Amino acid sequence: MDQHSTPQPFSSEIPFLHDLGVEFLGMGNGEAQVALNLEKRHMNSWMVTHGGVTMTLLDAVMSMAGRSLDPTARGGVTVEMKTSFMQPGGHPGGRIIAKGKAIHHSSSMCFCEGELWNGDKLVAKAMGTFKYLRRVDVGSKMDHE
């Protein structure tokens, strides 16, 4: 994975990922990786990683993997995503890593898969479809009433 093939995908660009504490590990050639050092705020009532955190990491890493194949894409919007949970994601003080891979892409869409790992344990797998965005002003065209 070449960390320099595409600009870093989030810092101030995606405030939610920044607020979660997501760490960019790299993206390029249809692959991407992010990590998260788990804190109490990432847990559910059973003190294991909340499913929404798991799905957020998988969504982001798959979009990044797809985006790394199209230098004209300014982003990738999730069209569809399916996630299967295998086991709890981790506890406070642990670290989880999400890995994404593009498996097919066209000029406007990308089909990806993702995995979330807690050490050597596979926590969840996902498949997703993403639409490439080529303009940064898409959000300003939405009705915000």
pLDDT single digits (tens) 81-125: 999 999 999 999 999 999 999 999 999 999 999 999 999 999 999
Collapsing DSSP to helix, strand or coil, 127 comes out as: strand
**With contact defined as beta carbons under 8 Å apart, do 128 and 59 qualify?**
yes
Domains of the chain are: 15-135 (3.10.129.10)
Q: Is the pLDDT of residue 6 over 80?
A: no
pLDDT band at 4 (very low <50, low <70, confident <90, very high): very low
How many angstroms from the chain centroid is the CA of residue 134?
A: 19
Does the pLDDT value for residue 139 go beyond 90? no
Instruction: State the Cα–Cα distance between residues 100 and 37, nearest whole angstrom.
Output: 18
| End-to-end Cα, the chain, rounded Å | 42
What pLDDT shows up at residue 134? 80
What is the pLDDT, as a whole number, of residue 75? Answer: 85
* Mean pLDDT, all residues of the chain: 89
Instruction: Encode pLDDT of 110-119 as tens digits.
Output: 999 999 999 9
Within 10 angstroms of residue 131's Cβ, the number of other Cβ atoms is: 15
Q: What is the pLDDT of residue 13?
A: 75
Instruction: Quote the percentage of the chain above a pLDDT of 70.
Output: 84
Return the minimum-mean-pLDDT range out of 14-18, 38-42, 57-61, 135-139: 135-139
